[in-house]
Amino acid sequence: MDGNDQARAGGCPVIHGANTATGHTVMDWWPKSLNLDILHQHDTKTNPLKGFNYREEVKKLDYEALRKDITDLMTDSQDWWPADYGHYGGLMIRMSWHAAGTYRLADGRGGAGTGNLRFAPLNSWPDNANLDKARRLLWPIKKKYGNKLSWADLLALAGTIAYESMGLKTFGFAFGREDIWHPEKDIYWGSEREWLAPSDNRYGNVEDPSTMENPLAAVQMGLIYVNPEGVNGQPDPLKTALQVRETFARMAMNDEETVALTAGGHTVGKTHGRGRAENLGPAPEAAGPEEQGMGWMNHQTRGIGRDTVTSGLEGAWTTHPTKWDNGYFHLLLNYEWELKKSPAGAWQWEPIDIKEEDKPVDPEDPSIRVNPIMTDADMAMKMDPIYREISERFYNNPALLDDAFARAWFKLTHRDLGPKERYIGPWVPQEDLIWQDPVPAGAKGYDVAALKARIADSGLTQAEMVATAWDSARTFRQSDYRGGANGARIRLAPQKDWEGNEPARLQKVLSVLEPLARDAGASLADAIVLAGNVGIEKAAKAAGFDLEVPFTPGRGDATDDMTDADSFAVLEPLADGFRNWQKKDYVVTPEEMLLDRAQLMGLTAHQMTCLLGGMRMLGANHGGTKHGVFTDREGALTTDFFVNLCDMGNRWEPKGKNLYEIVDRKTGQAKWTATRVDLVFGSNSILRAYAEVYAQDDNQEKFVRDFIAAWTQVMNADLLAA
């Protein structure tokens, strides 16, 4: 194990009372209980900068002074961790890459946007060995610029400046990433309980990378992408190529971007394996207090400089590892390569009969020349026919590689930052890129009241208006700020055809709203949201409360040309507990899928509770089903869902898979039907506590006001994010 698992028995029996270690929690007795903590992470209590607006403060940063300081750092080698070849560029690039490279397209989680590389598990992943040194080297810069520069921005920026210092013309950089203050609780990194466990458990069939478990992208626990030695550590470039292709696709990268990133990432820097891994101490999270948060310390031998052990592979990929050039393809394509073992015992490829002048020098002694190396993933760029064609094209046209890599690097380090409106700073590129999900500005000066009145008189039902607005907005993900109502992409492929959006109902509603929006000078996106508000106001009035739902105009309508349909496909809901729908049965329970959706939408547990109960009363279930509609006043925004759920005059009887009947205890008469996502609000102790609040006689108005507030947050989520 990691040295942190000592038994508590046998020591002095001092009772301290608190659960102060993370190895055991009060909920360990009930491992299947919902982890509602994922909805409440990053609370203001954990933030030492409470009330501080980073996105405003970073605009006051002296950007050029920062650029110079980071550039100077690159060649300011420190005795405690010397720079390879006198330049920290390779180390900083690897750090930025590994901060950004955890992003996965399926759920938008991971990425460089939060500074999570500072915390476990990422700070102690085997693949992130010695990146703790990079962060410590950057500490003087973070200390100097203080609150105006987040760790998240600095970790992403350092690699970009490193490339600039070595000769690459970068595509640009945007600030605006805000730090978190503890590890994310929502990100699923895999079920393995062993670092670098064989890949097999992540796949239905390890020979078919497309069968990797969603939403994962890395092939093994503790890796960013693929094993550099080959599939399960067995070299085979063609098999590795298949894993590389799938992994990078799950990061939203195509084949050309994959080759560019592989080549550009390995044009500079080196691997480290000139020593014995068994001499390394534990990872940062398991190291003793004397290590001060640094890990993998070698107290047996020298362990720094040329003697560093990180991946176990040893060597540089190019002749000039501190220079941006086309040397990667020169060596890869012009030499034959053979399998060898590094000094640390790792598989690597080395050239046969290489010219002396093509060898890189030793990282500490430039009078010594050594063999370059390639990983199995590098050899995939040569052996796989598709990758080979792209590699040769880049080799024969270095300017093409320069541009392709600069763009791919920018995408890698900004993919989770969200729409371009969130970008801050003088280095933001002007070009609009399709992966940024661009949306044109919408009109704000139209007569909102007049449009609202026409929608109210349009003949659309309350349920139709509410369901369409919800479906348009629910795609928002706070993980990478994608989706949401802005852009009205619900009318475009692929969203218009998603089963969860009820295409026939959707087209009916859009056909009514489109001419109304056009006549009013408003966007369809605004009209969809406004229609939902009309439905909510009608329902509130039917419940006895004459309240107005807040509305913010200005959404725009995206076009097909602005929409990468393939990348939007991953936003398709497989389930929506708020509308009591699942596409099919899954291994994961419906209530877990509801919880995941709520977390991505940025909802708290009480907001989730309030919204779901309200949606049932609005009759907004998918397909008009009556599951969970515990009322004879459907269409009125009442608390009946909670009142009847908490009524001990009822009992609950299973009637099939994910189907229950609510039965009168005295008469035995079935009153309503329900699903698991309905009943979990009565069965889960935390959710029941919230449900009971809304079931109280004195909280009917509170419920309506809370529902309107949560609804407005959902409708405006993508506007607020910018």
- Please report the beta strands in 621-718, taking only residues with DSSP state E, as ranges in sequence order: 650-656, 659-664, 670-674
State phi, psi for 149 to the nearest 5 degrees: -135, 110
Residue 27 pLDDT grade (very low, low, confident, very high; cuts 50, 70, 90): confident
State mean pLDDT over 473-492.
98
Closest by CA position to 618, among listed 510, 704, 677: 704
Distance CA(39)–CA(185), nearest Å, equals 9
Any idea what DSSP says for residue 660? E
Contacts of 424 (CB under 8 A, 6+ apart): 55, 58, 59, 174, 175, 176
Distance CA(560)–CA(546), nearest Å, equals 40
For the chain, what is the mean pLDDT? 96
Element (H, E) at 338: strand 337-341
Q: Amino acid identity of 34?
A: L
Residue 347 pLDDT grade (very low, low, confident, very high; cuts 50, 70, 90): very high
Position 367 pLDDT exceeds 90: yes
- Determine whether 98 is an active site residue: yes
Position 6 pLDDT exceeds 50: no
Closest by CA position to 158, among listed 100, 223, 86, 218: 100
State phi, psi for 309 to the nearest 5 degrees: -120, 120
State mean pLDDT over 241-246.
98
Q: Amino acid identity of 469?
A: A
Residue 28 pLDDT grade (very low, low, confident, very high; cuts 50, 70, 90): confident
Whole-number pLDDT of residue 570 = 95
Tokens representing residue 688 in the block: 């029941």
Q: Amino acid identity of 501?
A: N
Phi-psi region for residue 305, left (φ > 0), alpha (ψ -120 to 50) or beta? left
Residue 395 pLDDT grade (very low, low, confident, very high; cuts 50, 70, 90): very high
State mean pLDDT over 404-411.
98
Whole-number pLDDT of residue 1 = 37
Distance CA(568)–CA(537), nearest Å, equals 31
Closest by CA position to 81, among listed 139, 149, 12, 7: 139
* CB 409, CB 172: distance < 8 Å: no
Element (H, E) at 340: strand 337-341
Count the alpha carbons within 13 Å of 502 in the hemisphere toward its beta carbon.
Answer: 24
* CB 605, CB 452: distance < 8 Å: no
Strand, coil or helix: 182 = coil
Element (H, E) at 582: strand 581-582
Distance CA(560)–CA(689), nearest Å, equals 45
* CB 85, CB 322: distance < 8 Å: yes
Closest by CA position to 311, among listed 383, 377, 255: 377
Share of the chain above pLDDT 70, in %: 97
β-pair partners for 383: none
Selecting among 16, 40, 98, 330, the annotated active-site residue is 98
Contacts of 656 (CB under 8 A, 6+ apart): none
State mean pLDDT over 176-191.
96
Position 668 pLDDT exceeds 90: yes
* CB 481, CB 417: distance < 8 Å: yes
Whole-number pLDDT of residue 21 = 74
Position 372 pLDDT exceeds 60: yes
Distance CA(630)–CA(647), nearest Å, equals 11
State mean pLDDT over 650-672.
96
Q: How buried is 93 (Cβ within 10 angstroms: 0-12 exposed, 13-18 middle, 19+ buried)?
A: buried
Share of the chain above pLDDT 90, in %: 94
Position 8 pLDDT exceeds 70: no
Distance CA(488)–CA(412), nearest Å, equals 26
Whole-prediction pTM value?
0.96
Task: Look at strands 581-582 and 575-576 and give their pairing.
Answer: antiparallel
Tokens representing residue 137 in the block: 């080297």
Tokens representing residue 155 in the block: 């970790």
